[in-house]
Amino acid sequence: MTTHALDRLTVSDTLLGLLGDSTTEPRSDSQLAALTLAVAADLPVLLWGEPGIGKTAALNRLAESLDLPLTTVIASVHEPSDFSGLPVVGDDPAVQGVPMAPPDWAVRLVRAGRGLLFLDELSTAPPAVQAALLRLVLERRVGALRLPPGVRIVAAANPRSSAADGWELSPPLANRFVHLQWTHDHEVVVRGLGGTWPRATLPRLDPERLPAAVDFARRAVCGLLATRPTLVHRLPSGEARRGGAWPSPRSWDMTLRLVAFAYAADSSRDVLSLLVRGTVGDGAGLELLASVDRMELPDPETLLADPAAADLPERGDLRQAVLDGVVAAVRERPDRARWDAAWALLVRALDTGAPDLVVVPATTLATLRRDDWDVPAAIERLAGAVSVSRRADRAAERVAAKAGR
């Protein structure tokens, strides 16, 4: 190659380098936060997304942000022996046995002591390769070698409909992963192409919350499964659904760990939802989320003790549950002071939320009045909301009746 041609290539390389330069910025991103939390919890993660959506690029940025050496293994171009190990015959196999030699990438990870192992194109790996991956994903073993604790495993896959010669994931392999649906955000892509990508950071765990986090996670998972035993193990009937997230003792154990990490990190409900549904599936996951919501509701006795300082949930269903719980507490142990405090709490709910949420609790609370209890002035504030709600209900009934004629 001539000197003139080398000079031109040098300029080309300079331009490529400038195009590759980028920086990162802190940005609220639920799917990225879910990924980093699962990585912190040392659970294998599987990113599902269409080709070109940015799964590989996200993993490269994740490894760079976490300062972890990235090892990429294309699962579909490997043989089963590449993961289970190649037999190496020694001097006396009858005495020493035949050790299973690991591949070079596994040896490099062990020498480094830490890293991010990226198993790409998982959905194009044939069943025999998927079977060989079972021990790697669950036990972190490759042949006779065990990967160190500092190695995290993340995989990526395309849906079978868009994968080249794709296969459905086998249920045993699928049940070992936290499944995250990877989608693109228009603003993230635009800013990224402009040179600024979101920064991936590990969650900050509060050391003082760790014991409480473990207790909370155990109560949440065990409390649900104690009342819903059919959720302990539910293998889906369809082949496609078996290749995703579904409940089993293994995936519930993973879920318990994720709930504890999310609690210790004070993660958002959106992040927890992505992780829980990505581990035990939508149905069981949503039931667990509802159970967690109920666990976090304020104690009715605390609210009755100081109605003026009550912090009521913003979500309507949770606020309704809190108000119903307060009325139930008064019914269980009725006295004048508690009855008055409940009315004060309903007034606070009326001032800070939807008026229709106080209708049923107010109606029930009114039936608990004793003859010698004076009607509190707070009832005047609530009477209007109850009246309007009842008129609206009657109007809706008339409309429905006319429509049914």
Q: Say if CB 242 and CB 174 are below 8 A apart.
A: yes
Say which residues have a Cβ less than 8 Å from residue 251's Cβ, sequence separation at least 6. Answer: 175, 245, 279, 280
120-129, 273-282, 301-310, 383-392: which has the minimum mean pLDDT? 383-392
pLDDT at 1: 57
At 389, the pLDDT band (50, 70, 90 cuts) reads: very low
Average pLDDT over residues 155-171: 77
Residue 28 has pLDDT above 80, yes or no: yes
Average pLDDT over residues 85-99: 63
Q: Which two tokens stand for residue 16?
A: 């490529």
Residue 397 has pLDDT above 80, yes or no: no
Best CATH choice for the domain 26-88+99-198 from the list 3.40.50.2000, 3.75.10.10, 3.30.1280.10, 3.40.50.300: 3.40.50.300
Residue 284 has pLDDT above 90, yes or no: yes
For 173-193, the pLDDT digits (tens) are 999 999 999 988 888 888 888
At 404, the pLDDT band (50, 70, 90 cuts) reads: low
H helix runs in 103-149, sequence order: 104-112, 127-139
pLDDT at 272: 95
Name the residue with higher pLDDT: 248 or 322: 248
At 90, the pLDDT band (50, 70, 90 cuts) reads: low
| DSSP annotation of 162 | G
Which of the given ranges, 37-41, 140-144, 307-311, 389-393, has the highest pLDDT on average? 37-41
Say which residues have a Cβ less than 8 Å from residue 88's Cβ, sequence separation at least 6. Answer: 98, 99, 100, 101
At 393, the pLDDT band (50, 70, 90 cuts) reads: very low
Domain boundaries, the chain: 26-88+99-198, 207-295, 300-403
pLDDT at 161: 64
| Sequence letter at residue 21 | D
Average pLDDT over residues 284-308: 88
Q: Say if CB 176 and CB 119 are below 8 A apart.
A: no
Residue 391 has pLDDT above 80, yes or no: no
| DSSP annotation of 354 | -
At 383, the pLDDT band (50, 70, 90 cuts) reads: low
Q: Say if CB 103 and CB 142 are below 8 A apart.
A: yes
| Sequence letter at residue 360 | V
Q: What is the Cα–Cα distance from 335 to 365, expressed in whole angstroms?
A: 12
Average pLDDT over residues 144-155: 91
Mean pLDDT of the chain: 85
For 115-136, the pLDDT digits (tens) are 999 998 888 888 888 888 988 8
Collapsed DSSP state (helix, strand, coil) of residue 23: strand
pLDDT > 70 in the chain, percent? 87
pLDDT at 9: 83
Q: What is the Cα–Cα distance from 228 to 284, expressed in whole angstroms?
A: 10
Query: What's the Cα-to-Cα distance from 333 to each of 304, 338, 362, rounded to whole Å?
Result: 12, 8, 17
At 4, the pLDDT band (50, 70, 90 cuts) reads: low
Average pLDDT over residues 99-111: 85
Q: Which residues pair with 120 in a beta bridge?
A: 74
269-283, 303-317, 369-383: which has the minimum mean pLDDT? 369-383
Residue 396 has pLDDT above 50, yes or no: no
H helix runs in 266-377, sequence order: 269-280, 282-295, 300-305, 316-332, 336-352, 359-366
pLDDT at 388: 42
pLDDT at 395: 39
- Residue 172 burial (C-beta neighbours within 10 Å; 0-12, 13-18, 19+): middle
| DSSP annotation of 200 | P
Q: Which two tokens stand for residue 397?
A: 């009934």
Query: What's the Cα-to-Cα distance from 220 to each of 43, 253, 280, rounded to whole Å?
Result: 19, 12, 14
Nearest to 245 by CA among 201, 275, 267: 275
pLDDT at 285: 95
Q: Which residues pair with 87 in a beta bridge?
A: 100
Average pLDDT over residues 348-370: 84
Residue 104 has pLDDT above 80, yes or no: yes
Collapsed DSSP state (helix, strand, coil) of residue 25: strand
What's the predicted TM-score (pTM) here?
Answer: 0.79
| Sequence letter at residue 218 | R
pLDDT > 90 in the chain, percent? 33
Average pLDDT over residues 13-33: 87
For 201-241, the pLDDT digits (tens) are 889 999 999 999 999 999 999 999 998 999 999 999 887 78
Nearest to 163 by CA among 238, 243, 105, 235: 243
Q: Which long-range contacts (CB under 8 A, 24 or more apart) does 269-277 make?
A: 270/30, 271/30, 271/33, 271/34, 271/37, 274/30, 274/31, 274/34, 274/180, 275/34, 275/37, 275/38, 275/178, 275/180, 277/245
Which of the given ranges, 36-40, 59-63, 141-145, has the highest pLDDT on average? 36-40
For residue 199, the Cα-to-chain-centroid distance in whole angstroms is 19
